[in-house]
Chains A and B, each alone.
Chain A
């Protein structure tokens, strides 16, 4: 870290030549040791033949780009990637739409009902991801699940004994419900906070000019909240694309691994399950690059804020 004091020497700047370095040492050491070093290791290992034998001491062999070629040539990898992207897309769209609708609803509600909605959303948001999966798994239980029971009350429907997790499509439907249920609160609260910033006069003027609810949202509210929508969407994309806990735990309750793995789970299985650390490393590097690209905007936005 270069800490030579800058040309313009105010009192603060000159005195603080060494102090900030000392203050940054603990953070620097931890991040270098636990993030930086493993990241370098990850990149190295992705260019090596590294399997069970190497874990037990045989020196790894350099194979150049072979791991990447293998991974990118494996149709199963593309299955998993396509599945992850589709799944994330569905979740992001659903979460954003429902979250925005709930936020708009909260604007229209009287105090008591707004409080009611807020409390409900907070509880859903606060549930740890793993407990959420376990509870929803119980609600969707084949034999004694409350959802099968309630649906079977409908005339002509008999779902007792129906397994929601065995078939990939309905497995992902359940996963989508769980993830949307937990992500809507963040979107709703954030958009709601943005909505309260939209000046009332503008909306009233538009209403007097005959703009309906839909065009008011499209022409006034949306432009006002554009950057909020962008950042929230990016965060959702990042979170949903790298989803691990929900899928992994749901597979434990009753899904078929091969047909339901997303990219995060796939890395875990390839590396620690199958023991092919080289291929797992290559997939991981690809995932890191994809994530970095997507999050560029978020980082840029945050940095702009910082320089102001």
Chain B
């Protein structure tokens, strides 16, 4: 920021009005506004193209035969459409097969989502529906844990899992992922539970429900959207995670999809880009779909502290 403060810059839309007569000024102002509108729309198109192009290029390449891709001129649309690349990735006889990796990824991700949701749900209940000593300390711990970089922890995580014989097991990686996503999951779910007024439960208790009944019959159904959003978040995290999977699942048959994608790239020595793009597409599609479902909640969850402050 410069030191010159509050020198009013003449507004381009208003300035001409001072010189010319009122009617002419109106039309120049309108003309200018329309011109700016066109400029802004053009920039919008550029932003759209830059954002989308890599995604498009991934899909486009995955649908072209590999020999065309290695031609002197790129093909900007799949004019010789083929699904060979997908066949090769899914059923081809490579050193790094796709389907087992997909199986591992699915198992780890789904287990992570279920366990993390259950644990986070219980913890969120504790911190929202009860007042007890250490409650604030617990919430603080959750937030601090979220800030510990996983990169720093890989070595000791590796050693601890090793000592428990959990390396190269679905259970081991699931456990690590549960711990990774729990803080954020608790934090978001806490927000959702807080959103359901306690008075609703109290009313049900006056009508004769026990406290537990009141919770399950009144509050729980209202939490469904929150559980879905939080679950999807955990899904995306676990599905995309690369570093821990690389360290924990070192055996080829235990690879998850991100590790597979990297090995696949090295395994096909002359870099079969078409097949790699097909693999990337297969890996990205579930995430993109799920992401579109919950994106609104993710933004608000991350900056909840800021928006009201």
Contact = CB atoms under 8 A, between A and B. Distances in A.
Interface residues of A, number: 120
B19 to A, nearest CB: 15
Interface residues of B, number: 109
Pairs of residues from A and B, 10 with the lowest C-beta to C-beta distance, nearest first: A212-B9, A120-B51, A34-B179, A284-B152, A264-B151, A126-B291, A38-B156, A23-B126, A231-B306, A120-B48
B303 A231 contact: yes
- Most chain A beta-carbon contacts within 10 A, residue among B119, B147, B211, B287: B147
Given A227-B309, A301-B306, A189 B287 contact: no
A238 B149 CA distance: 9
23 contacts: A12-B129, A13-B132, A15-B211, A23-B122, A34-B157, A34-B175, A105-B43, A117-B44, A120-B48, A123-B52, A123-B55, A128-B287, A130-B240, A138-B58, A138-B277, A139-B57, A190-B302, A215-B6, A215-B7, A228-B303, A267-B152, A268-B151, A288-B149
Interface stretch (A69-77, A164-172, A242-250): A242-250
B208 interface: no
A138 B66 CA distance: 13
- Most chain A beta-carbon contacts within 10 A, residue among B125, B273, B300: B273
B284 A125 contact: no
A41 B284 contact: no
Contacts of A154: none
A120 B292 CA distance: 12
Interface stretch (B23-31, B77-85, B86-94, B137-145): B137-145
A131 to B, nearest CB: 4
Interface of A: 1-6, 12-13, 15-17, 19-21, 23-24, 26-27, 30-31, 33-35, 37-39, 41-42, 45, 102, 105, 108-110, 113-114, 116-117, 119-132, 134-136, 138-139, 141, 143-144, 146, 149, 181, 185-186, 189-190, 193-194, 197, 207, 209-215, 218-219, 227-228, 230-232, 235, 238, 242, 244-245, 248-249, 252-253, 263-264, 267-268, 271-272, 277, 280-281, 284-285, 287-288, 291-292, 295, 298-299, 301-308
Interface in B60-116: 61, 69-71, 73-74
B155 A277 contact: yes
Contacts of A308: 308
B302 A235 contact: yes
Interface of B: 1, 6-12, 14, 36-37, 40-41, 43-45, 47-52, 54-55, 57-58, 61, 69-71, 73-74, 118-120, 122-123, 125-127, 129-136, 138-141, 143-145, 147-160, 175-176, 178-179, 182-183, 186-187, 211, 239-240, 242-243, 247, 258, 261-262, 265-266, 273, 276-277, 280, 283-284, 287-288, 291-292, 295, 299-300, 302-309
A130 B262 contact: yes
Contacts of B149: 238, 242, 264, 287-288, 291
A6 B48 contact: no
Nearest to A242: B149
Contacts of B175: 30, 33-34
A263 B8 CA distance: 45
Nearest to A280: B155
B118 A26 contact: yes
A293 to B, nearest CB: 10
Contacts of A138: 57-58, 61, 273, 276-277
B145 A31 contact: yes
Contacts of B52: 119-120, 123-124
B242 A24 contact: no
Nearest to B133: A2
B152 A301 contact: no
Contacts of B283: 128, 130-131
Given A144-B74, A291-B149, A27 B182 contact: yes
B151 A207 contact: no
